[in-house]
Amino acid sequence: MGEYLNWGEEGILYNTLPERFTPETASNYIKELSQTVNPRKDIRQLIDASKLNYLPNDEAKTILVEGVKKLRPPCKNEKNAIYGMTAFTRIATRMIITLAQRNDIKIFEAKKEALEWLIS
């Protein structure tokens, strides 16, 4: 069990984002992601962004975007659901999703709604 990532019984990767992505936390997050998932295997990931209160600075954003692009190329049947964001963090998240060229990530208001979509 990692600081950010944990596998659930139903094969869903539970991912808890930190309050703030600094260059250090962004690097640690990408490192844990690289050690937790197989980049060639589809996953279903539930991302809890309820603690995330600050936009990443440019350096942290670059680490996240490049790290995700390199480690997790889009897979055919992959599903990623993010919930718990404020309007402020939703804007930054959409920007990172766009820059990382990911269309397998959906944003939800509530955990229940996100989980139902992942399981469907």
Contact criterion met (CB below 8 Å) for 55 and 88? yes
pLDDT of residue 43: 85
pLDDT of residue 93: 80
User: How many H-runs (helices) and E-runs (strands) does the chain carry?
Assistant: 4, 5
Count of beta carbons in the 10 Å neighbourhood of residue 6: 13
Q: The domain that contains 52 carries what CATH number?
A: 3.30.750.24
pLDDT of residue 115: 94
How many domains is the chain built from?
Answer: 1
Cα–Cα dist 50/78, whole Å: 22
pLDDT of residue 105: 85
pLDDT of residue 73: 64
Kind of pairing, strands 12-16 and 5-7? antiparallel
Mean pLDDT by 10 residues, the chain (120 residues): 87 93 95 84 90 88 86 74 89 79 85 93
Domain span at residue 73?
A: 5-119
Q: What pTM was computed for the model?
A: 0.83
